Amino acid sequence: MIQFPKPDVEQYFQTYRISHFAVSEDEKRLYMDSNLNGQPNIWAMELPGGYPYPLTYLNQSSQFIKADPQGRHLLTAFDRDGNENYHLYALPPEGGVPLPVVPAEPSDRCYYAHLSEDGKRLYYNTSAGNPNYMNARRRNLETGEDELLYQGQEVTSSLIAVSPNEEAYVILKMYSNTYQTAHLHRNGKQISIVPVTERQSRIPYVLFAGNDRLLLITNDNAAYSYVAEYVMDTGEFRALCHIEGEDVDDIRWYEASETLYIWTLTGPEHRMYVLEKGAHEPRPIDMPLDTIEQMNVTKAGNVYILGRGAVQPHNIYRLTAGRESWEALTANRVTGLKPDDLVYPDVVRYNSYDGLEIEALLFKAKPDQANGYTVFWPHGGPQASEGKFFRPMFQLLLAQGYHIFAPNFRGSTGYGAEFVKLVERDWGEGPRLDCVAGIQWLFDQGISSPERLFVVGGSYGGYMTLLLAGRHSELFRAAVDIFGPSNLFTFLDSVPEDWKPMMDKWLGNPVRDRERLTKDSPITYLDQMVKPMLVIQGANDPRVVKAESDQIVAALEEKGVDVEYIVLHDEGHGFSRKTNEILVYRKMVEFLQKHQETPVAQV
């Protein structure tokens, strides 16, 4: 009998990422940003059943894809090696060399907002001339005329919706991730859409349902986000649809049948509903994916979704109007592995230090593969959550025998308005103690022990990894920090300019909160960082700059701590290139194996 070897690291990364997609007006072509060839590019495929082919060869990530209604071009935006300074381009329908459509300096950031129904006018947000607060502009793609619509002041602002007749638009003012205000601009007047209340609320999404009505997501005066409507002529604001115990995460409107599609986030997964004309309650719709990252509803009423499952990599599905079953448009899978070879997580709950219930995902290595070790994974964000979505790194580590424990500590999304606010101005106390309580739960359940636990995290999770390394090194064997802030003072000073107006509410003020920020900075605890550490950093990261990793690595090396450092010179805040991803996670596996407990000799 032929015996095949155990899958190598590379096998778990022979899937491709799909970041976003678009569909042509006639729905005969699908466009997507993907690393199908190992590098980030834009690809196309004919529908139905076409084979993907590349439209670009820049090997750079795009920010969005928008198909011109007349089929004349694609609009998109590219950055440079992960620096997130996106510039706007047009691309020929058959691909080739992108053409800049908005003049921009290398340091400028441009964000797509809207394309007119005739495809002639582009609405966008830009940092040019206003890097802290942003400006909203409209550009005529035929004449090149470019006009200022709104100039941000005092708070970061952005244009988020334009009416079909282009006589009205909505500006969002973003004070923090949990506090936004939306303002309708019409007939030379500015009107607040959501009534002003003492309770600061979220407004993550607004759309025009015709020229005189807005639909939006908000949690104003509610525990969970819901759908509301605003009638422009009367100024009436009212709740339209609540779904008990679930946060509405995204919505789409189909004008022809007056149908509202709703996606909610509940803990680690998404759910889908449809609210049909005349219905009093939304109707649930089964989905082929656990988590959704983008959705489109076309003029023909067809629904497209992009997402992942816990054991399924990125794929795009279509629900054709009038049908009940989804059709897979892409066939992304883990080469050489069946779904049964992968691990689906259990959802567990435990009480934290103050009695707050924390939900977590527990991935258990298969009994015949388990090596007795566990990886503790604090997620990034921090106002995000660990969901049931495919991570090649997780499945690789599980195949190597590691259990994985991923808590959605306080501040995570999908658990209501107040829960997500708990991390604001408290990055290093409550969430850290939630993590410690999760680690203790692992010990109490007999799943792990201090001799058999590793901590691995990226972004905010990297910060938490560093903080745990400094304050609780007795709880684990070694740590892996992936682009995590090490010093909250230098982090505050180095974040992107349009983040800075929000940092006070999110993290704190370096003068007023000096004592707390010092206490919550990992670098404060250098003397207690005694366990081996692997640090990974993208050289072009604009969110957590390279200096954050440089300073912690240099300080640990000076102390003689066992620290290894990998810098990726063509990446930013993440991994867009397959070769880098494989390099990093191969090194991570080697690092974890190297620092496992030395086995006791048996006679």
- pLDDT bin (cut points 50, 70, 90) of residue 3 is confident
Burial class of residue 512 in the structure, from the number of CB atoms within 10 Å of its CB (0-12 exposed, 13-18 middle, 19+ buried): exposed
- pLDDT bin (cut points 50, 70, 90) of residue 11 is confident
Tokens at residue 339, please? 């779904």
pLDDT at 598 over 60: no
pLDDT tens for 75-86 read: 999 999 999 999
- pLDDT bin (cut points 50, 70, 90) of residue 400 is very high
pLDDT on residue 8: 73
- pLDDT bin (cut points 50, 70, 90) of residue 121 is very high
Residues in Cβ contact with 538 at an 8 Å cutoff, skipping those fewer than 6 apart? 82, 483, 546, 567, 568, 571, 572, 573, 574, 575
pLDDT tens for 544-558 read: 999 999 999 999 999
What is the arithmetic mean of pLDDT over 325-349?
92
Q: Are 131 and 80 within 8 A, CB to CB?
A: no
pLDDT tens for 93-119 read: 999 999 999 999 999 999 999 999 999
E strands, 187-268, are 189-192, 205-208, 213-218, 226-231, 236-241, 247-254, 259-266
H-state helical runs in 362-513: 392-399, 417-421, 430-444, 460-471, 488-494, 503-506
CA 228 – CA 238 distance, rounded (Å): 6
pLDDT on residue 335: 84
Least Cα distance to 243 among 267, 265, 216 occurs for 265
pLDDT on residue 52: 95
Q: Are 47 and 329 within 8 A, CB to CB?
A: yes
**What is the CATH number that goes with domain 339-594?**
3.40.50.1820
Least Cα distance to 30 among 316, 326, 291, 287 occurs for 316
pLDDT tens for 414-455 read: 999 999 999 999 999 999 999 999 999 999 999 999 999 999
pLDDT on residue 300: 95
Tokens at residue 595, please? 């620092």
Q: Are 476 and 454 within 8 A, CB to CB?
A: yes
Q: What percent of the chain has pLDDT over 70?
A: 99
pLDDT at 599 over 60: no
pLDDT tens for 484-510 read: 999 999 999 999 999 999 999 999 999
pLDDT tens for 143-194 read: 999 999 999 999 999 999 999 999 999 999 999 999 999 999 999 999 999 9
- Which residues partner with 538 through β-bridges? 568
pLDDT on residue 600: 31
pLDDT at 301 over 60: yes
- pLDDT bin (cut points 50, 70, 90) of residue 601 is very low
pLDDT on residue 198: 64
pLDDT tens for 226-280 read: 999 999 999 999 999 999 999 999 999 999 999 999 999 999 999 999 999 989 8
pLDDT on residue 14: 81
